[in-house]
């Protein structure tokens, strides 16, 4: 096998293995909540809403991983070990500063969040309790983001895999032990949140030990006190913060699309909201695999740009896309032949499964553009093309909003009668009588799926057009 392919798989496979452990933790937390007492639905709702608050909060700071990874990979390619050390120091300093700010504003954030998030008082109380415990993991969580980016930039995907395994394994172990009283005294619902806190700090300890034993001599041995004092000075520091500002805007765009998709889905009833949620969860499985190759592309692109090696850079871009497209074709086949079985694995509700069948073609189409968008993201991170990544998401928001508003405007102009005619053969209609869905709502959901597809397509087209300029040495 070509060396480039070996390097891609060496980086991608551990990342994929780490990624697929993530949903297991969420499933275990929900399962634990479901076995605490008779009010299982309320407890599960508290976990779901509390976790969503953290998703929205931490999504904004994914820049800590992304920005750190690209800069580190380029310094690695130049074999500039002092700059590698400075990048990590900057990233950890920024992580701790952000974490302190989050701890200070935690009450304000929760109050503001529940002005937007509509849920019962019981769920709100539990979600708040979950949040106020888990927020104390913020220093560890944000530091782990920075460390993961740094490891990937150092062409090391095994260390973050080990760290993720520790975090997720400890999360499961501690949440079960603390909540249900296995070995330790039972804490009930708060034990689930505390288990996550302890897991995050366990992962941080492991990551720091890896730094101490694996990288201390190679990267940090020659770091003088003067180097440390200059960490937050100079052109590289300005580049670091400018890049992270671009990535922060990019994260806000992601959140806008995510919230928009969920809020719009909710307008058309619980059934279609469940359908859209399941579709996104199934699509997320694909992203866990594709992200592995995106991480590989990120690390190797930065490395070869830093080393000034155009030949291997071209090979990296080409073969990363080949592997990603192969993965996309595999998932298209899985979604086509096994889509209904995946739906039944996600829910036993026959109405949800039947309604979801109508939207399976969208699920089959998504990997085509999703694979290219995710892969370009990784390559552009390695090339530190933060401005282009920011702009691609701005255009994605425009595409999403345009398709939605044009589509729903045309649908409204046609009227309910036309909507009913258009869905006369829809499988989803078999459950309309009991679910409360309407032909209008079904078409509206198709428009929403089209808007989500458009946002992925816009990202792909924009980054493809900008790739030659950003990857200048690629001919």
d(CA 157, CA 297): 12
Q: Tokens for 474? A: 């690629």
Q: What is the DSSP letter of 429?
A: G
Q: Which pLDDT belongs to residue 429?
A: 46
Q: Which pLDDT belongs to residue 377?
A: 93
Vertex 222: Cα angle to 218 and 227 (nearest 5):
125
- Per-residue pLDDT tens digits for 224-240: 555 555 666 666 667 77
Closest CA to 277 of 356, 365, 169, 215: 356
In sign, the C-alpha dihedral spanning 296, 205, 17, 190 is negative
Cβ atoms within 10 Å of 219's Cβ, excluding its own: 20
Q: Which pLDDT belongs to residue 234?
A: 61
Question: DSSP string of 85-102?
Answer: HHHHHHHHHHHHHHHHHH
Which residues of the chain have a pLDDT value below 70? 1, 23-28, 30-31, 33-42, 44-45, 117-119, 183-186, 221-237, 346-348, 415-437, 473-475
With tokens 């950890």, the residue in question is 92
Contact, 26 vs 55, CB < 8 A? no
Q: Which pLDDT belongs to residue 434?
A: 40
- Tell me the whole-structure pTM to 2 decimals: 0.83
Q: Which pLDDT belongs to residue 425?
A: 39
Q: Which pLDDT belongs to residue 427?
A: 43
């Amino acid at each position: 096998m070509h060396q480039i392919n070996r390097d891609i798989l060496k980086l991608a496979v551990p990342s994929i293995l780490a990624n697929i452990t993530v949903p297991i933790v969420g499933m275990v937390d929900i399962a634990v909540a479901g076995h605490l007492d008779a009010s299982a639905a309320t407890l599960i709702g508290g976990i779901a809403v509390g976790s969503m608050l953290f998703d929205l909060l931490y999504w904004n700071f994914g820049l800590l991983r992304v920005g750190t990874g690209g800069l580190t990979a380029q310094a690695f390619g130049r074999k500039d070990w002092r700059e590698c050390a400075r990048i990590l120091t900057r990233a950890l300093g920024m992580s701790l500063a952000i974490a302190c700010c989050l701890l200070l504003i935690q009450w304000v954030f929760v109050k503001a969040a529940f002005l937007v998030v509509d849920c019962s008082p019981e769920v709100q109380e539990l979600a708040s309790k979950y949040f106020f415990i888990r927020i104390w993991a913020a220093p560890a969580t944000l530091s782990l983001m920075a460390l993961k980016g740094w490891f990937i930039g150092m062409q090391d995907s095994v260390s973050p895999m080990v760290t993720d395994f520790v975090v997720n394994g400890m999360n499961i172990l501690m949440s079960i032990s603390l909540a249900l009283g296995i070995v330790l005294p039972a804490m009930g619902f708060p034990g689930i949140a505390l288990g996550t806190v302890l897991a995050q700090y366990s992962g941080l300890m492991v990551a720091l030990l890896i730094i101490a034993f694996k990288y201390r001599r190679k990267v940090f041995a020659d770091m003088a006190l003067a180097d440390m004092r200059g960490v937050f000075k100079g052109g590289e520091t300005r580049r670091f913060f400018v890049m992270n500002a671009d990535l922060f805007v990019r994260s806000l765009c992601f959140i806008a699309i995510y919230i928009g998709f969920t809020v719009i889905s909710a307008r058309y009833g619980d059934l279609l909201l469940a359908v859209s949620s399941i579709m996104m969860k199934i699509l997320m499985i694909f992203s866990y695999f594709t992200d592995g190759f995106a991480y590989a592309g990120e690390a190797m692109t930065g490395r070869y740009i830093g080393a000034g090696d155009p030949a291997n850079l071209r090979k990296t871009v080409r073969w990363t896309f080949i592997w990603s497209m192969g993965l996309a074709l595999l998932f298209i086949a899985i979604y086509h032949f096994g889509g209904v079985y995946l739906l039944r694995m996600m829910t036993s509700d026959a109405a949800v499964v039947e309604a979801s069948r109508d939207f399976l073609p969208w699920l089959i189409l998504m990997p085509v553009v999703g694979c290219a968008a995710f892969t370009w993201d990784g390559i552009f991170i390695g090339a530190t093309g933060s401005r282009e990544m920011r702009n691609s998401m701005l255009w994605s928001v425009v595409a999403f909003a345009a398709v939605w508003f044009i589509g729903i405007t045309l649908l409204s102009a046609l009227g309910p009668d036309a909507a009913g005619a258009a869905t006369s053969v829809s499988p989803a209609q078999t459950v309309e009588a009991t679910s409360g869905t309407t032909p209008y709502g079904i078409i509206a959901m198709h428009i929403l799926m089209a808007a989500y597809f458009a946002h992925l397509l816009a990202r792909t087209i924009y980054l493809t057009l900008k790739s030659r300029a950003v990857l200048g040495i690629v001919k």
